[in-house]
Structure 1
Amino acid sequence: MRLVVARCSVDYIGRLTAHLAPAVRLLMVKADGSVLVHADGGSYKPLNWMSPPCWLVEEPGRWTVQNKAGEQLVITMSEVLHDSRHDLGLDPGLVKDGVEAHLQALLAEHVLTLGEGWTLVRREYPTPIGPVDLMCRDAAGGSVAVEIKRRGEIDGVEQLTRYLDLLNRDPLLAPVSGVFAAQQIKPQARVLAEDRGIRCVVLDYDQLRGIERDGTLF
């Protein structure tokens, strides 16, 4: 990663033309070859940029960045205030908190969230069209298939419906009811689920993790 702070003007020449008048800006050159021009504002979005594959040609006071299509980003610098290079190494990537696998593990551990007297039969219960997130038994001993999503949408309801259709063909399990559990459930998905006799449950991720809120613990 190369970071340059310079007073510069920027001209884009391609399918259209654009011009940035002289000002102090941050120029970022990434290891993948991309070049980005940032101001001290506008959140994360650069004022202008050139995506890879592109090539940077440096001349005194002037950078010319060109891509395969012949488009150019010409940066004219009147003063360089900072120029540094940093090896950031291999990035491990973003790990999202609250992904479905985490929700599944937490709900399996706290299955009583779904109802008093509930027990977990198995996580990732196999079916010919894929595993059901949780197979449980309710207080009356009935089989319940639980599909877990971060965001509950119609596709998730359709998925659970297909699981229920197959599971209810097994005389050792039938009748199998369904629970659609998510951190957020879209209104259309809730209507479809309830129309099909599927119960909807909104999950509180913080409570499942036992995080204290308002003086109480889950």
Structure 2
Amino acid sequence: MRLVIARCQVDYAGRLTAHLPMATRLLLIKADGSVSIHSDDRAYKPLNWMSPPCWLIEDGDIWTVQNKAGEKLVITIEERLHELKQDLGAEPGLVKDGVEAHLQELLAEHITTLGEGYSLIRREYPTAIGPVDILCRDASGSTVAVEIKRRGEIDGVEQLTRYLELLNRDPLLAPVQGVFAAQLIKPQARTLAEDRGIRCLTLDYDKLRGTESDEFRLF
């Protein structure tokens, strides 16, 4: 991983155009080829980015990041304030919450919970930015990516959005639809998901296990 803190401006040209005026920012260049630009007030979300496969061309203080679709990020550096390179080594992967992992397993076993005619492609489908919980096909044969959470919040919708953006670049899978599945989905997360064309599904853990919930029962 390479971290560069610099005064820079950024211009994006692709499906639309965008401009970030000159300011001090963090440039994050990862071993997977991705490049992202961060400010100090947006939590984890970058101001702009280019996901792999893409390549970085450095010509002095002009950096150009380009992908196969012809999209470009042009980073013009006025001053480099700090730079660090560090090999992070192999990533052991995320250890998921037990209930969340079990939900994934159960939903894969009962894939028609998503709808009649659904069929499983695989669990933990690998991508350059992490594994998709479930990849499957609907009754019409279209690809569907499923993100599973115990509690469905906005960050889970953002995660699925990034997966969909990447998967839809693969002509063998596209078009890929999204399903955001959780035991409880927050209203804000549901609104954001539906605005992005992502279907929300509330999961009944006990029903998936084949047992009936005894919640609120005395006996």
CA deviation string 1:167-201 (max 9, x = no partner): 00000000000000000000000000000000000
For residues 97 and 160 of structure 2, the distance between their equivalents in structure 1, rounded to whole angstroms, comes to 24
SS of residue matched to 2:128: coil
CA deviation string 1:103-153 (max 9, x = no partner): 000000001100000000000001100000000000000000000000000
Q: Does the Cα contact within 8 Å between 1:98 and 1:205 map onto a contact in 2? A: no
1:107 aligns with 2:103: no
Percent identical: 82
Q: In structure 1, what is the equivalent of residue 116 of structure 2?
A: 116
TM-score where L is the length of structure 1: 0.53
User: How many residues align structurally?
Assistant: 119
Q: In structure 2, what is the equivalent of residue 193 of structure 1?
A: 193
Q: In structure 1, what is the equivalent of residue 153 of structure 2?
A: 153
CA deviation string 1:36-80 (max 9, x = no partner): xxxxxxxxxxxxxxxxxxxxxxxxxxxxxxxxxxxxxxxxxxxxx
Bigger-Rg structure (1/2): 1
Letter in 2 for 1:212: E
Q: CA RMSD in A?
A: 1.6
Q: In structure 2, what is the equivalent of residue 135 of structure 1?
A: 135
Unpaired segments ≥5 residues, structure 1: 1-95
User: What does 1:1-218 correspond to in 2, within 5 Å?
Assistant: 99-212=99-212
For residues 203 and 212 of structure 1, the distance between their equivalents in structure 2, rounded to whole angstroms, comes to 14
SS of residue matched to 1:200: strand
Counterparts in 2 of 1:205 and 1:97: CA distance versus 1, 3 Å = farther
Unpaired segments ≥5 residues, structure 2: 1-95, 215-219
SS of residue matched to 1:99: helix
For residues 97 and 189 of structure 1, the distance between their equivalents in structure 2, rounded to whole angstroms, comes to 20
For residues 146 and 104 of structure 1, the distance between their equivalents in structure 2, rounded to whole angstroms, comes to 9
Letter in 2 for 1:118: Y
Q: Give structure 1 regions of 4+ aligned residues with deviation exceeding 3 angstroms.
A: none
TM-score where L is the length of structure 2: 0.53
For residues 158 and 210 of structure 2, the distance between their equivalents in structure 1, rounded to whole angstroms, comes to 31
